Amino acid sequence: MSWKINFIAQKPSGDWQVFIDAKTGEELLAIDISENYVNGTGRVFKPDPITALQNINLSDQNNTDYPALQNAYQTVTLNNLDNPINGIYRLWGKYARSDSIEAPDTTLVRRSDSNFLYNRSQAGFEEVNAYYFLDLQRQYIGSLGFSPQWNGQDYIRFDAGIHLKNPAAK
């Protein structure tokens, strides 16, 4: 287990992300993330299958991936992802971060590449949708000249397995 700490420093200049071993306090990795974000790809519903397909007869069908939904998927760019840690990509980024906040614990999506292409019956589909739309909205808010923070962070932390959480709640 490790701690992730973000801070801006003048010497050495940069927007730093440091990973510290939670048991030993040893620095595991320090990177300047000023402009070190990567883009990935993800599959989402944009905005949802009923609207995208203009078909009010679609039903949930217990999160199964059935043929009528195929044209509702869109492959999108997942902007602002953190660089991989030890070769592993997560849905952690500049403006949104997937986490396991509340019981039951959820296994977070992890990949050896930055392609998060799931369908709705696969674990990770909702996580990709949440990351994409939270990042997109935060970029829009930034384009208006606002820089909101949540608990001193630029990113919104969301629960990977349950639903969006208020990041101020502990």
Cβ atoms of 19 and 41 closer than 8 Å = no
How far lies 54's CA from each of 64, 75, 78, in Å?
19, 19, 25
pLDDT for the residue 35: 60
pLDDT for the residue 164: 41
Report residue 84: phi and psi, to 5°.
Answer: -65, 150
Cβ atoms of 40 and 114 closer than 8 Å = yes
β-bridge partners, 89: 111
Token code pair at residue 5: 């700490």
User: Could you give the 3-state DSSP secondary structure of residue 168?
Assistant: coil
- How many angstroms separate the CA atoms of 50 and 56, rounded? 6
Cβ atoms of 70 and 121 closer than 8 Å = no
E strands, 11-133, in order: 13-21, 27-32, 37-45, 73-82, 89-90, 96-99, 110-111, 115-116
2-10, strands of its sheet edge to edge = 2-10, 13-21, 27-32
Side-chain-side CA neighbours of 88 within 13 Å: the count stands at 6
Instruction: Give the model confidence (pLDDT) of 12-48 as tens digits.
Output: 666 777 888 888 998 887 776 666 789 999 999 999 9
Locus of tokens 């296994």: 107
For residue 10, what is the enclosing H or E element?
strand 2-10
Could you report the average pLDDT of every consecutive run of 10 residues in the chain (170 residues)? 78 75 86 76 95 94 92 96 91 90 77 96 92 92 83 81 45
